[in-house]
Amino acid sequence: MFDLIPAIDLLDGKLVRLHQGNYDQITTYGHNPVSVAESFAEAGAHWIHVVDLNAARSGIPRHQKEIEDIIKHVTVNVQVGGGIRSQEVAEEYLQLGAGRIVLGSSAVENPQLLSSLLSAYSSRIAVGVDAKDGLVLVRGWEARTQLKATDFALALAQSGVRTLIYTDVARDGSLAGPNLKSLEEFLGAVSVTVIASGGVGSVEDVVSVRALQKNYPHLSGLITGKALYDGRIRLRDALEALQ
């Protein structure tokens, strides 16, 4: 199984994409994330990846209502991330029906929270490992740590995390193609489920990432956003190419 997962990024109530996570380089794609989510579900997506970019930066949720509406209006799984830094916020999204939540900064800064959520919800918890030049970024990708992405991934796997989402921030929103070398290095560090993200610009990029599954069967999917919104990829075509 290999899932191509469309992304919905929310900022100030709008559906947007950032370039390399830069909040000063924003492209807006409308104000109706529910209809976009419905179109992704109709095209055949099994998962939709939704991120509250305001919360990723500040730690304060901004789009609970929009996320709740998306979950209510689609029958596919919704994966929610962005600024989930407390048990209360995590459980709110899970109770709304999120199939999985994604911790980022809190997995680095608050391992006790991660441990607590893993104990209670296990497979519904994923951790985003967002890296640039091999080092983990946090707080809306605006703060660089000294953690090597591969070392952090290994520690997370050993702590019981079953799903990791690896984003090469330097490629995110660039349409320049995924960094297959860094992805392979990451896949080689762990044996838990990995979902890749960052740089997809064509159906060929999707197929090239899927090809890595031959050597790394724990690679289970790929998140894409800007290529869909810019018309570089039709979701239905890309899903057919993966069959």
DSSP percent split of the chain into helix, strand, coil, nearest 5 = 40, 30, 30
- Classify domain 3-241 at the CATH topology level: TIM Barrel (3.20.20)
* pTM greater than 0.85: yes
9 is catalytic: yes
Read off the pLDDT of residues 161-180 as tens digits, 9 standing for 90 and up.
999 999 999 888 888 999 99
Per-domain residue ranges of the chain: 3-241
Q: What are phi and psi of 46, to 5 degrees?
A: -95, -25
Identified catalytic residue from 24, 52, 130, 237: 130
Rounded-to-integer distance, Cα 198 and Cα 213, Å: 17
Do residues 79 and 40 touch, judged by C-beta distance below 8 A? Answer: no
pLDDT of 171:
87
Identified catalytic residue from 9, 52, 168, 172: 9
172 is catalytic: no
Average pLDDT over the chain, rounded to whole? 95
Burial 28-53 (b: 16+ CB within 10 A, else e): ebeeebbebbbebbebebebbbbbbb
What angle is formed at CA 206 by the lines to CA 200 and CA 236, rounded to 5 degrees?
A: 100
Read off the pLDDT of residues 66-79 as tens digits, 9 standing for 90 and up.
999 999 999 999 99
Read off the pLDDT of residues 80-137 as tens digits, 9 standing for 90 and up.
999 999 999 999 999 999 999 999 999 999 999 999 999 999 999 999 999 999 999 9
